[in-house]
Structure 1
Amino acid sequence: MKKRNFLSVFLTMILMASLVTGCGSSSSSPQAGGGTAAQGSGGDTDGKLKIGATVYYMTEFITLAAEGLKQEAQKQNVDLTILDANNDVSKQISQIENLISQKVDAIIVAAVDSDAVAPAVQKAKEAGIPLIGLNMLINSPDVTAYSGPNDVEAGELEMQYVADKLGGKGNIVILEGPIGTSAQLQRREGIHNVLEKNPGIQVLAEQTANWSRAEALSLMENWLQSFEGQIDAVVAQNDEMALGAIQALEAKGLKDEVIVVGVDAIKDACESIKAGKLDATVFQDAVTEAQQAVQLAVKAAKGEPFEKENLIKMELVTKENVDEYLKIYQ
C-alpha cells in the first residue's frame, strides 16, 4: 500500500510540472529590437519582421526604388515582399488587403491613385498595421508616415530652367502624369508657381501621358500638327514622357529648336542629356526614398519614434553636372 501511495504522489507531481511548463509557452514571441509582437503582427518566432510593399508599376524609377527596398530590408534583417500593381488601383487595393490578412508587420505603398487606396489604408490602421506611403502621397489621415520627393520643388526647378532659357517669353506644352496622383498635382503646382512669375510664357496644351514614353510620343506628334511651328519647349513631369517627346521631335527634325525637360534623372535621361538631346531633368533619389520607407516601417512596427513626413531634396541636372549623376548607374 505504501508503494502504491508513493507512486500516486510521484505521478501527480509529474502531471503538475507538465501543466506549469505548458502555461509558460503562451508568452509573446520577441521581435527584432527586443519588443513584443504587436497587434496584427506577422513576425516569426525568431523575431524577424515581415514587410509587404505594393508599387504602382515597374517604371525605370520604381525598379531603382525596388532595389533600395531590398537593400534596406537586408540591412534591417526583415522579410520583404514587393508586389507590382501594374497601374491598376483595384489590384493594388486587393494587394493591400491580402497583406493585411497575412498579418505583416508593416506595409509600404507607392500608390496608383492617391484617393482610391484610402479605404484600404484605413483597414490597415484598424488591423494595427503601420502603412508607409512611398513616392506618392496618399490622401488619408491613416497613413503612418511618408517618404517621397518634394514634387512642388521638382516642378519649380524644371520650369525655372525653361523660363531662363526662353528669357521669360515663349510657348510651351506640358506633359502630365496620371491625373489626381500627388506627383502630377504637386509638380503642376510647382510649374505654375513659376509661370505666374513669367506671364510672357504661354501654355498651348497641358495633358496627361500617364508617365508613359509611348503615350507621350503619340501626344507630342499630335501637338506638333496642332501647333506647327509654335512650340518652344516641352515641360514633362517625368523623364519617360520627356524622352517620348524627344522621339517625336527628332522624327520631324525639330529637336534642336525645342527645349525639353523632365523629372527623375533615370539612366536613359542622363544619357540623353550627355548626348545633347534632353536639356535638363530633376534628380529624385529613388534608392534613398525607398531605403527611408523601410526604415520608417521598421521603426513604426517596433514602436520607435519617427518623423511623419520625410521629403527628399530635388536637384537640377544639366549637361554641366550630368556626369556626377551617371556615376549612380555605373
Structure 2
Amino acid sequence: MNKEKRKGFFKAVTACTLTAAMLLSGGCGKQKEEKSKIAVITKQKLSFWSDVQMGAEDACNELGFELLYSVADGDNDYVSQEAAIQHAIKEHAAAIVIAPNGKTELNSAFEQAEKNGIKIININSRADYPGVISLIRSSDTEGGSVAARHAVEILKKNDENLTKLKNIAIIGHTASTAEDRISGFVDSFTNLASSAIAPDVMVENDQNPEKLAAAKQEKIEAYKKGIIKGTPCAKRDAAEEEAMKILTNSANEISVIFGTNTNTTLGICDAISELGLEDDIVVIGFNSDEEELGYIRTGVLDGTVVQNPYMMGYVGVRYAKRSLQGDNVPSILDTGTVYVDQTNLNTDFIQLLIYPRGKNDEDGNTEVGK
C-alpha cells in the first residue's frame, strides 16, 4: 500500500468512526484565504505526542495553515506550556490546540490569548477554563475500563472463578488524566471480578437476590482493599523504582499491575523484566510507544490500551478552522481506544493506528502490517 493510499484509507476508517459530518464539514481547505498560524502545544517528548504532531501537520498542510509546534518537558511542566502560549500570542496565531498540563495553572495565559482573539481547543486533557471551545480526546474512564476487562479475561483463563486472585497494583502518572483511568480500571475490575463468585456461593443465593447482591458487594469491597496504588510518577525511571518497591515487598502478592501512560508502563515493564516476573504477573499498559510494543512481542507486557493521537492533532486543527469560520464544533469528541496485544498487533488496522504515516522497512520503504 503506497503512502497516499495508506493515508486515504486511514482517514476513511477514522471518518467512519467519528462520522463524516464531524471531520469533513467546512471544506478541504481549497478556498483562497490568508495563511494563518495555528499553535499546537503538547506535553512531552514521546511517540504519542509525535503522532499528535503528525496529525496536526497533515491538517495544516491540507487547510493552508502554518503550524507552530512546541512540546513541554513533562506532564507537569506548566512553565514551558505557558511560554508556548505567549509565543503564539506574539506570533498572532489564530488558534491554540493544546494538551494542557494542568486544570487551572494556564488560565491566565488562556485569558490573555482569548483577549487577543485566539480560539482555544483542548486535546487529550481539559483545562478548567470557560473559553475552551472543544475537547478532543479518548475517554480516560473507558480506557481504564478496557484495561480492566482484559486483565480479568487473562486471569480467568487460568482461574475461572478468580479464587487465586491476589493484590492489584496501579502506578499512575502525574497528569489529571491518570485519575479517570485509575477510577475506570478499579470500578470495572472489581465489578467484573466479583461476578466470578464461586459457584457454591451463586447456588446458595440464587433464590435470594438480596443475599446475592450482598455477596457480590462483599467481593467488590474485598478486591478494592487489595488494590495497591503507587506514588504517581512523571518519569520512566521513577516508575521503575516505584514498581520495584511494590514487587519486592514480601507483603505484596501481586496478580496484576497497571500503568496509566507510556512512562509508567515502561517503568513497570523494566522492573518486571529485571525481576523475571513476566510469567507470574499480568501487566497492562497504556499507549503504543515502540518500546511498549517491544515488550508486548517479548511477553513482558500482556497488552496495552491504544488511543488515536494522530486524530487528536488532525481533528484539533480542523475544528480550529471551523471555529474560525464561525461554525459550531462539538464541545467534546471521543476518539476512542483499542486494546492491543500479541493477537492483533500485526493486523492492518492496528498498524495503521500505531503508524499513521506507515512504518519504514530497512530500505526506507513505507509498509503496513509489518
> Please, what TM-score do these two structures have when normalized by structure 1?
0.80
- CA apart distance, 1:33: 7.6
1:298 is the counterpart of 2:321:
yes
Tell me the residue number matched to 2:168.
172
Q: Of 61, 69, 77, which aligns to 2:64?
A: 77
1:55 is the counterpart of 2:79:
no
Secondary structure at 1:108 match in 2: strand
C-alpha separation between the residues in 2 aligned to 1:256 and 1:229?
Answer: 17
Asked which structure has the greater CA Rg, the reply is: 1
Tell me the residue number matched to 2:18.
none
Tell me the residue number matched to 2:274.
251
Change in CA separation of 1:221 and 1:33 when aligned onto 2, cut-off 3 Å: same
Matched-pair contact (CA < 8 Å) for 1:125–1:131: yes
- CA apart distance, 1:81: 0.7
Letter aligned with residue 168 of structure 2: I
1:207 is the counterpart of 2:242:
no
Tell me the residue number matched to 1:221.
244
Q: Of 185, 191, 196, which aligns to 1:191?
A: 185
- CA apart distance, 1:165: 2.7
Q: Of 131, 146, 151, which aligns to 1:142?
A: 131
Specify every segment of 5 or more residues in structure 1 that has no aligned partner in the other structure, as ranges: 1-31, 36-45
Secondary structure at 2:254 match in 1: coil
Change in CA separation of 1:99 and 1:203 when aligned onto 2, cut-off 3 Å: same
Specify every segment of 5 or more residues in structure 2 that has no aligned partner in the other structure, as ranges: 1-28, 157-161, 194-219, 360-370
1:260 is the counterpart of 2:283:
yes
Matched-pair contact (CA < 8 Å) for 1:239–1:266: yes
Report how many aligned residue pairs link the two structures.
286
Matched-pair contact (CA < 8 Å) for 2:114–2:131: yes
C-alpha separation between the residues in 1 aligned to 2:52 and 2:145?
Answer: 23
- CA apart distance, 1:228: 5.7
C-alpha separation between the residues in 1 aligned to 2:97 and 2:151?
Answer: 35
C-alpha separation between the residues in 2 aligned to 1:239 and 1:107?
Answer: 25
C-alpha separation between the residues in 2 aligned to 1:67 and 1:114?
Answer: 25
- CA apart distance, 1:196: 4.2
C-alpha separation between the residues in 1 aligned to 2:166 and 2:149?
Answer: 13
Secondary structure at 2:346 match in 1: helix
Letter aligned with residue 177 of structure 1: H
CA RMSD of aligned residues (A): 2.1
Matched-pair contact (CA < 8 Å) for 1:55–1:83: yes
Letter aligned with residue 315 of structure 2: Q
Matched-pair contact (CA < 8 Å) for 2:272–2:300: no
- CA apart distance, 1:34: 6.7
Q: Could you list the per-position Cα deviations for residues 179-215 of structure 1 after superposition, in whole angstroms to 9, with x for gaps in the alignment? A: xx331122122112214414253212332122x3222
Letter aligned with residue 142 of structure 1: G
Matched-pair contact (CA < 8 Å) for 1:133–1:146: yes
Q: Could you list the per-position Cα deviations for residues 12-32 of structure 1 after superposition, in whole angstroms to 9, with x for gaps in the alignment? A: xxxxxxxxxxxxxxxxxxxx7
> Please, what TM-score do these two structures have when normalized by structure 2?
0.72
Tell me the residue number matched to 1:38.
none
Matched-pair contact (CA < 8 Å) for 2:167–2:252: no
